[in-house]
Structure 1
């Protein structure tokens, strides 16, 4: 048994409620293994970890996904998984209302759906839950200065947000998460171009087939995945702003 593996076991045993989670054991093993490695160094492959821990590939992938989301690892298609470069100071994590305020617009929302659902495989994996676990699904039409800007489908881990469905619908998700000391400390956003379907076009006041921008967000507070959000934005009302520089 090597030193990193022993350290991983001790880390897991010291975290209440995580002793039986195999993906946590793998995550902490890899975290310790790469602690002093230089950026670009190869991380253990999924195959190696499957063999070492005698688990399913999905369990290993879940552990590595967390480290990728934390910015410790980076995946390069066709090559493998490597130690990432240290992150630079990130931009602040903003909710829709805060983002609209920065653009000089008053935000408003219309709840289209709010209820409890069973997590499908994609949502369960993103939130590190078992498939079929209870999640809160909150679907809203978001407006800026009274104009429809986007449709949001938010999925939340109900176990860390008890009573959310028993109180008046909050006007701001991030304000509610902050009240519970679960405001996201960082997020992982993926954007892609697409076209509006019939339902989206109707809600956003567009013609079917008009270009839209889709975003998928995973949010983390501390070491907990708290939110998965799927949004579709009007391309004529929303622009993505990035600041890039030398690596």
Structure 2
């Protein structure tokens, strides 16, 4: 899959540009400060109103903005966050399973326009492309395709690939502080079915992730999980609840 194809699965390019622009504007703003209007954003970016709405919806879902009917959209009071941000190795350990990985691709590539935009790089900058078949208790669990900024992680592949990406990021002071996942249901392609050891057309879950550390985007990835082996748990807390 091309870098643009991977990125399209991670998130739509146009609404990401709008979303990150608004995120930057409201960063540090007081609770109740107004967000840019949809009309202003449509004119600035030359995109459809639906694209702007999608960007604002994402920030509302994150808890950064809130809509007040009849008034507008404003900077929201910070929410209590629940759940732990974990990489695959940590997630499998938490489930009492032994995580293993087989590297399929580990190389430096030139960032195409899609990956460059999401990783906040210039087109042609070096990126680390790391694709792995990931097992749990010796049975295939998922195929994970990740792109990382070589600018942030110089020499990342020089001594071989690490066992855990998030452990490696932690050692460099770049463990993600926030991530957003996009989850869709699909069926396995022929290539995926062969690697995951399931029949062609078996149900899979596709999890696209964008992870950041502070203001640095450290990971853009897409993982395809066997739906018969993997259940995604999401925790929620009501307003005012303590994590």
TM-score bracket relative to the smaller structure = 0.7 to 0.9
TM-score calculated relative to the size of structure 2:
0.75
Report the counterpart of residue 35 of structure 1 in structure 2: 30
Give the structure 1 partner of residue 185 of structure 2. 193
1:136-180 per-position Cα deviation (integer Å, ceiling 9, x unaligned) = 110000000101000000100110000012222111111110110
Does 2:216 align with 1:221?
no
Describe the shift of the 1:111–1:81 C-alpha distance in structure 2 as closer, same or farther (beyond 3 A).
farther
The number of aligned residues is 209
Provide TM-score, normalisation by structure 1: 0.74
C-alpha spacing 1:155/1:82, structure 2 compared with 1 (3 Å)? farther
Higher relative contact order (CA 8 A, sep 6+): 2
- Whether 2:176 is the aligned partner of 1:176: answer no
Residue segments in structure 1 that go unaligned for 5+ positions in a row: 1-22
Higher deviation after alignment, 116-125 or 182-191? 116-125
SS at match of 2:80: coil
How far did residue 28 of structure 1 move? Answer: 4.4
Classify 1:193/1:127 alpha carbon distance in 2 versus 1 (closer, same or farther; 3 Å): same
Measured in 2, the distance between the counterparts of 1:122 and 1:98 equals 29
Deviation of 1:131 after TM superposition, in Å, equals 3.2
Across the aligned residues of Structure 1 and Structure 2, the Cα RMSD in angstroms comes to: 2.9
Deviation at 1:113, TM superposition (A): 0.2
SS of residue paired to 2:130: strand
| Residues 122 and 81 (structure 1), Cα distance of their counterparts in 2 relative to 1, 3 Å cut | farther
**Structure 1 residue 129 displacement after superposition:** 2.2
Check whether the contact 1:30–1:44 (CA below 8 A) recurs between aligned residues. no
The superposition leaves residues 88-119 of structure 1 with CA deviations (integer Å, 9 ceiling, x where unpaired) of: 13311111111111111111000000111222
**1:49-88 correspondence runs (5 A):** 56=45, 68=59, 71-73=63-65, 83-88=75-80
Q: 1:84 to 1:197 in 2, by over 3 A?
A: farther
Q: CA deviation at 1:57?
A: 5.0
